Amino acid sequence: MATRSMAGRASSGRTRRWRWILPAGLALVVLVATLLFVNRRHVLPTEEQCHFATAAGELTLDPQQASNAAVIAAVAHSRALPERAVTIALATALQESHLENLDGGDRDSVGLFQQRPSQGWGTAQQIADPVYTTNKFFDGLVKVPGYSRLPLTEAAQAVQKSGFPQAYAKHETDATVLTAVLSGREAESIGCTVSGAAPVAAASPRTGADGLTGDARRIADQVRRDFGATVKVHSVPAAGGRAVLLVPAGESAAARRSGWAAAHWAVARAADLGVASVVYDGKEWRTGSSTGGWQQHRGTAPSNGVLVTAGG
């Protein structure tokens, strides 16, 4: 009897301990989950992504969406268009394609803006080129009288002739955030987590007249396509053909802002073009960084431009 009583007491003790441990464990799980949710912006990301953070808000895109957004902003820069034009274009592309270069859509729609060859936008192959399709959108936008003062939905609809014109409005806040970053108005406002700095598979091995090779060659070519003559591209002899210096036109504050526009462009297009690092204004961004953000640059870098180093 005594043995059974002791066993019963032991069993009762274990039961009481479990009654205490289980609720405590559940409370701990809830606490950790709550902390992770509240501080989710500071948790290290587990996948490649680009985070845009400004005074007006924040937005996270995947690398391909970020790259396409950067093209739109750069093309606007090449045409000296105001920020409002960039915001209208980005909101339109967010609605039409989620900033993805789609190879199909409603009827014969193609690309970032879902333009249709049958409606005179160009061939499907042309529209599939982000630079071409963005220029075509801006060609239409600048013909709209007073577009920069119109409500975004009216300006976008005047170009797109969409069946759902009010749908553009819901993207205006996100487009405004992207514009502030990609126009260079807010410095160090994009962080991209890109794993490694492996060269892009399609990178050209040829060496150009300027001495650039591989991904550096592709980066230089794409800068010229996206920014036109508004950003000059120079090779960096000491880098052995793997780096380019991007020098925006303009002076003083305007040049600094354009410099950040070029720097943010390079980060946003890093996964697409094989960018390994970007250095500007004493700051540095690198692939493989656990935070994906900008750090203080410890080395020596040119003071008159954005230093972009390729991964291959």
Q: How is residue 49 written in tokens? A: 């992504």
* Shared-domain flag, residues 143 and 223: no
Of 152, 183, 214, the one marking the end of a domain is 183
Structural domain for 102, as ranges: 49-183
Question: 248 - beta bridge partners?
Answer: 231
Strands 275-280 and 283-286, sheet pairing? antiparallel
Q: At 207, is the pLDDT very low, low, confident or very high (cuts 50, 70, 90)?
A: low
Token representation of residue 194 = 């890109």
Same domain, 166 and 274: no
- Name the range with the highest mean pLDDT among 30-44, 82-96, 207-221: 82-96
Are residues 153 and 250 part of one domain? Answer: no
pLDDT level of residue 9 (50, 70, 90 thresholds): very low
171 and 238 share one domain: no
The pTM assigned to this predicted structure is 0.82
Are residues 171 and 259 both part of a single domain? no
Task: Check: CB of residue 309 under 8 Å from CB of residue 275.
Answer: yes
Read off the tokens for 105.
């859509």
d(CA 208, CA 224): 14
Specify whether 63 is located in the same domain as 116: yes
Strand order across the 243-248 sheet: 231-235, 243-248, 306-310, 275-280, 283-286, 295-296
Query: Beta strand 57-61 with 295-296: parallel, antiparallel or unpaired?
Result: unpaired
For the cut 60, the answer to whether the pLDDT of residue 150 exceeds it is yes
